[in-house]
Structures are given as C-alpha cells and as structure tokens.
C-alpha cells in the first residue's frame, strides 16, 4: 500500500504544472517559517538585552577573579561582554589566574588585550605589577586606556600597539614576569626560536587557536619543552556552560537566556598552554 501511494505521489508531482505549484507552495511555506523564526529570535534577543541591562546596570564585574572591576561602557572587543560582566568569562582559567596573582609578578605582558579585561584586572589584583597591554586595534587600545583610568591603574598599564618576535626577543624583563597571549592564531608567528632565549625565565599563558592551524599547540609545546613545564587547560563549550554554571544572577532564567548570557562563541574545545619556567 505504501509503495503504491509513493508511486502515485511521484507520478502526480512529475506533472509539470502540479510540480511548479508544489514548488511555489513549498517555497512560500519555507519563507513564512523563516520569517517566524526571525521574529521569534528578535523577541528572545530583546528579552535577553533587557535582562542584561538590568543585571549589569552598574557595568561592574559581579563575580570571579576580577570582581568589582568597572567597565566604562557596555562595550568589549573581539569577545563577549556579558560573560565578562557576570564573571564567568573563561572560568576554566580562574584557578590559573589565582595562582598567577599569588606569585605577585613584577611585569605582565598582555598580547591581544582587547578592551583590557585581563590587563586592567591583573593590574588591580597585583598592585606592584607594571602591565604592558598590546593590541593592534585602535579601539581596543582606547577602551583599555579608559578602563585603566576608571579603575585607578592607568599609571601602571602601558598601552602599546603591535608585539612581535623582536619585541619579545629584546624586552627588558626584570624580576618575575609573565606573558598572557590571546592573539587569534598569531601565536605561532610570535613565539619562535628567535625570542626563546629571552623567555627562558618568563612564565606564559597562551591561548592556542588550533581550529585556525591544527599545528599551533604542538609547535608551541615542542618550542618550550626544554625551558618550561607545561599544563594544558581545556575549555568547555557554551552549551555545557549554560546547563551547568551556577550563578545567583541567572536563577530563574530559562536555558536560552542562560546560554546567551554565558556565550563566549566556543564551538570547539579550545586549549590554553600554561607554561612555567623551569
């Protein structure tokens, strides 16, 4: 019976006139479905934006390592703002950052500082540290400067543009130093044998971007194998965060809202290499 009906349906749709009308109807139905999805998505986004404005009305980080840090505006660069203000941003790294803070570094180089989340946060948590914040984008540097001033650390946050292999090879490291790197795949060009000798006593926390070049992390592991001890830290996906992260501010929200407020754009498992000088 099913085969007979299938053959009949194929025969009917094979008729040119009927086929054209069927195509027009299916196309029209798809357009209606798509428009409804857009309207629903817009409604959800409006509700989330309203929730975020209420949650983050003081533009102050609510939880985590940099709790109390103030943002000059509802603006971030190349990363999600809501997780930073909530304090969940890169939560996987918070134990490493607490260890970094406990070591009270004298110098911190933040390569790819964006709007200054780590550069300013670490300057606040390590009062004796001088932080060198590098970013090739003018807006990122401007935002970092504003955040540093707002949080009272502008005198210790030195804002620079590009950081190159030559920069690291000749940098005058003094005392205890660490490099924080998140430069979107450039890390393979930045860290080379040319600067290795000058980094042998410097710790590093490098976000690798193997989805851009699958060889990046293995290259860096080999490069630093003789001079540094390695700890690999792996990220959680945004869906898992939405289902498992517990914050008082998110209580009562459905999973869609939690997802958007925690979303960092992590579709892959990212890695950070935490390298400690031997």
Which CATH number does 81-277 carry?
A: 3.40.50.150
* Range of weakest confidence among 9-18, 40-49, 65-74, 231-240: 9-18
Which sequence spans correspond to the domains of the chain? Answer: 2-55, 81-277
Is 65 within 8 Å of 98 (Cβ atoms)?
yes
Per-residue pLDDT, averaged over 38-43, amounts to: 58
- Residue whose structure tokens are 């054209």: 20
Q: Is the pLDDT of residue 37 over 70?
A: no
Strands 203-208 and 177-181, bridge-based pairing: parallel
Per-residue b or e along 177-199, where b marks 16 or more CB atoms closer than 10 Å to that residue's CB:
bbbbbbbeebbbebbeeebbeeb
Element spanning 256, H or E: helix 255-262
pLDDT tens, 92-113? 999 999 999 999 999 999 999 9
How many Cα neighbours within 13 Å face the side chain of 92?
21
Q: Is the pLDDT of residue 173 over 70?
A: yes
Confidence of residue 181 (pLDDT cuts 50, 70, 90): very high
Q: Tell me the percentage of the chain whose pLDDT exceeds 70.
A: 83
The pLDDT of residue 144? 98
Per-residue pLDDT, averaged over 120-143, amounts to: 97
Per-residue pLDDT, averaged over 119-131, amounts to: 98
Confidence of residue 3 (pLDDT cuts 50, 70, 90): low
The pLDDT of residue 79? 83
Helix, strand, or coil here: 48?
helix
Alpha-carbon gap, residue 67 to 118, rounded angstroms:
12
Q: Which residues contact 162 (CB under 8 A, 6 or more apart)?
A: 134, 136
pLDDT tens, 225-261? 999 999 999 999 999 999 999 999 999 999 988 999 9
Read off the DSSP letter of residue 108.
E
The pLDDT of residue 27? 58
* Range of weakest confidence among 28-37, 90-99, 122-131: 28-37
Average pLDDT, whole number, for the chain?
89
Confidence of residue 49 (pLDDT cuts 50, 70, 90): confident
Q: Is the pLDDT of residue 5 over 70?
A: no
Q: Is the pLDDT of residue 57 over 70?
A: yes
* Range of weakest confidence among 45-54, 89-98, 126-135: 45-54
Alpha-carbon gap, residue 53 to 82, rounded angstroms:
10
Predicted TM-score (pTM) of the model is: 0.83
Closest CA to 177 of 277, 108, 273, 118: 108
């Amino acid at each position: 019976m099913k085969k007979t009906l299938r053959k009949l349906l194929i025969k009917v749709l094979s008729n040119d006139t009927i086929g054209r009308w069927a195509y027009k109807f299916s196309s029209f139905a798809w357009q209606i479905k798509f428009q409804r999805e857009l309207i629903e998505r817009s409604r959800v986004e409006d509700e989330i934006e309203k929730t975020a404005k209420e949650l983050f009305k003081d533009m102050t980080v609510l939880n985590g390592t940099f709790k109390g840090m103030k943002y000059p505006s509802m603006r971030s660069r190349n990363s999600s703002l809501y997780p930073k203000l909530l304090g969940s941003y890169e939560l996987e790294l918070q134990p490493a950052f607490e260890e970094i803070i406990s070591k009270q570094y004298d110098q911190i180089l933040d390569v790819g500082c964006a709007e200054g989340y780590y550069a300013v946060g670490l300057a606040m948590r390590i009062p004796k540290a001088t932080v060198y914040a590098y970013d090739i984008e003018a807006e990122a540097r401007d935002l970092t400067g504003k955040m540093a001033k707002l949080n009272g650390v502008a005198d210790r946050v030195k804002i620079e543009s590009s950081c190159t292999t030559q920069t690291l090879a000749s940098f005058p490291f003094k005392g205890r130093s660490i490099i924080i790197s998140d430069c979107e795949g450039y890390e393979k060009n930045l860290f080379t044998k040319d600067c290795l000798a000058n980094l042998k006593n410097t710790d590093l926390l490098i976000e690798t971007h193997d989805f851009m070049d699958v060889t990046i992390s293995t290259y860096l592991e080999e490069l630093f194998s003789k001079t540094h001890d390695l700890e690999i830290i792996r990220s959680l996906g945004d869906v898992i965060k939405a289902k498992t992260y517990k914050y008082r501010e998110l209580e009562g929200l459905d999973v869609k809202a939690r997802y958007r407020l925690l979303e960092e754009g992590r579709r892959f498992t990212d890695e950070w290499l935490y390298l400690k000088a031997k």
